[in-house]
Amino acid sequence: MSVYIGNLSHEVEDNDIRQVFLKYGVVKRILVSTNQKTGEKRGFAVVEMETDSQEMAAISALVGTEWMGYTLKVNRARTVADAR
């Protein structure tokens, strides 16, 4: 399971996200979505943590939180398998 975090500032960096999620456990990977043509950030990211319980703790704590001037949308990330 991974965590989807949306409505992010376009100024956010991987390390900014890492610092927030480290409060809830071990961060394995962060993928900040960017436009392939322009390289601009698209306002969302996916964070993978070490355990499902860490991810659930982060979701519970961060949903609706205001960060960098934006109200975050945080939930379980959908996978290709979920779409089937």
Whichever domain contains 42, its CATH number is 3.30.70.330
Domain that residue 10 falls in: 3-79
Going by pLDDT thresholds of 50, 70 and 90, the confidence category of residue 3 is: very high
The pLDDT tens digits of the residues spanning 28-76 come to 999 999 999 999 999 999 999 999 999 999 999 999 999 999 999 999 9
How many domains are there within the chain? 1
Number of continuous H segments (helices) and E segments (strands) in the chain: 3, 6
Residue 82 is inside which H or E element, if any? helix 80-83
Structure tokens at 60: 């519970």
In a domain, 12, yes or no: yes
Residue 84 has pLDDT above 60, yes or no: no
**Dist CA 22 CA 30 (whole Å):** 12
**Dist CA 23 CA 68 (whole Å):** 17
Task: Report pTM.
Answer: 0.88
In a domain, 84, yes or no: no
The number of residues making up the chain comes to 84
